[in-house]
A and B are shown apart, each in its own frame.
Chain A
């Protein structure tokens, strides 16, 4: 077994194991930590696939961004030692059943498929190439999506403000309802 293979096995094991633990842990802060591990391990897989830029983005944006705000929100809404109630068995059965069935079906479909690997030399993926793509307005360019994302971010900003803005008049009365 080469180092490559070992690395893959390690990464994927971490990903799957901690995914499971994220979902199953009854302490929410631990869940968040496991999620962080999963995301980092995923970045590892990206590295394995030689997409360094993606791995960086993954670590920076996901692990660094999303997990952090998740943790913040947890802190806002929970006591540190909060332990959630045990999961209702019906729901566990449903969840595992549906997910298991779906996974089995998909894996079966994947195994059915005959992949034809492309033997060509992979494109070099570095920040420069990516930057060029992102501002390219022609074929294979992503200028427009980039702009769309910016509108989206603006909208999300406005939306978040709308939701989070503190009411002057009604806050007090309605909160006690």
Chain B
């Protein structure tokens, strides 16, 4: 609980600062403050993880949940590192603290979602995590695309939530309660409850952007500011993934046969469709959007594993994914901030002018593609391992074929940067210190989380 409280305190602190600080150079105050607050929250919340329940069981915490929260916090923190160039622009000067307040609030929502002990808390967390996000998506409100992203997100999110609730209303029938523990004992698969379960899963699938519930993803990712997109793709998705996994394992265990076939179907569709769309994208953000859809399909493979193995693989992948995807988005953000260019073709010949950035992007893309020695390789293999432990060899085959296709498009930016010739490549520019710091952290994470087995072992132990 101290974790959430600390975040809430952060919101208050930011509000106070917003009220009392002068308009000039607000960024230089608020950004380091936010980073510090986030770091403090992680420290306070992450130290000595304990297990227990509060409020009659609707709030529960344990080492695994703490770990997941830390992963989410780390994602948010890394996003903070990349916003400097964007948030300090004149048009954003009047809403600097608002950005951080909204991020902190959504993070609180996700924490509650992760710590939920019943569906109501989960629902509240979910909404707290997604409603302010629509405001974040529309943050660049002077841009048409940003406004479009905001409205598309809020409306489709509302609809998906309606479906989720509609499903829950049927699940409620079986047990008369929405407490996870009580529900687990009472849950029996029959026609109505399975129907409810599917509706519920569809609602969650929307948040994780699984095909065919993914259609909002690309538009919103493209329209939203880069930092927000990074936040969407990693943190928001991560929380939903964890909750869905946990709920499926620990609440709907009795319907394992049914949700598995659904997961398999979703996995196949998600990987394939995500890849097919990613193939043809020109805009880096849209490209990464479809890539993240495909990645979600891989995560489903991990979910198919049972017990600690599945859970640990999924959370480990989320951890890896945080570093990897934010690294990629950071580079996109750096380039977008410096030049406003976001298309793959604009990146041609970039290695000649900005070698370090390109190397970071390359490593990140390889990690996404699952190429050793970076962490993505381990993450992906462990997901496959989880699926294999249940005998899903054909599914793994489909997945690895998709991974091969994905390599094709992940190599496209690499090719543009390293191989293609360009008369007028993007000129050299110097990223700000925050950005460099963030990229450094991402790189460290991408390499360390893979090679150092401690991360996975710890997650496995607490799962």
Contact = CB atoms under 8 A, between A and B. Distances in A.
Contacts of B134: 159
A143 B190 CA distance: 34
Interface in A142-177: 143-145, 148-149, 151-152, 154-156, 158-163, 165, 167-171, 174, 177
A169 B95 CA distance: 13
A108 to B, nearest CB: 8
A105 interface: yes
Given A138-B56, A148-B112, A162 B121 contact: no
Majority secondary structure, A binding face: helix
Chain B CB within 10 Å — which of A138, A143, A158, A167 has the most? A158
B131 A156 contact: yes
Contacts of B56: 136-141
B432 interface: no
B219 interface: no
Interface in A100-158: 105-106, 109-110, 112-113, 115, 136-141, 143-145, 148-149, 151-152, 154-156, 158
B195 A155 contact: no
Chain B CB within 10 Å — which of A105, A109, A165 has the most? A109
Given A143-B55, A148-B124, A160-B135, A167 B91 contact: yes
B54 A158 contact: no
B139 interface: yes
Chain A CB within 10 Å — which of B55, B57, B125 has the most? B55
B138 A109 contact: no
Contacts of A140: 56
Nearest to B125: A148
Contacts of B141: 162-163, 165, 167
Given A151-B108, A158-B101, A145 B124 contact: yes
B8 to A, nearest CB: 7
A88 to B, nearest CB: 19
B142 interface: yes
B150 interface: yes
B312 interface: no
B132 A156 contact: yes
Interface string B43-74: 00000000000111111000000000000000
User: Size range of the interface on A?
Assistant: 35 or more
Majority secondary structure, B binding face: helix
Nearest to A149: B124
B437 interface: no
Contacts of B128: 148, 151-152, 155
Nearest to A141: B56
B102 A155 contact: yes
A102 to B, nearest CB: 10
A172 to B, nearest CB: 10
B173 interface: yes
A163 B135 CA distance: 6
Chain A CB within 10 Å — which of B11, B91, B127, B132 has the most? B132
B105 interface: yes
Interface in B131-147: 131-132, 134-136, 138-139, 141-144
Contacts of A143: 55
A165 B166 CA distance: 35
Contact of A113 (B95, B132, B173): B173
A130 to B, nearest CB: 15
A151 B105 contact: yes
A112 B191 contact: yes
B139 A162 contact: yes
Contacts of B148: none
7 contacts: A144-B58, A144-B121, A148-B112, A151-B108, A158-B105, A159-B132, A174-B142
Shortest 7 CB-CB contacts between residues of A and residues of B: A159-B135, A139-B56, A155-B105, A174-B142, A155-B132, A113-B192, A170-B142
Given A151-B108, A159-B134, 8 more contacts: A138-B56, A143-B55, A145-B58, A148-B125, A154-B11, A158-B101, A162-B102, A167-B91
Interface of B: 8, 11, 54-59, 90-91, 94-95, 98-99, 101-102, 105-106, 108-109, 112, 120-121, 124-125, 127-128, 131-132, 134-136, 138-139, 141-144, 150, 170, 173, 190-192, 195
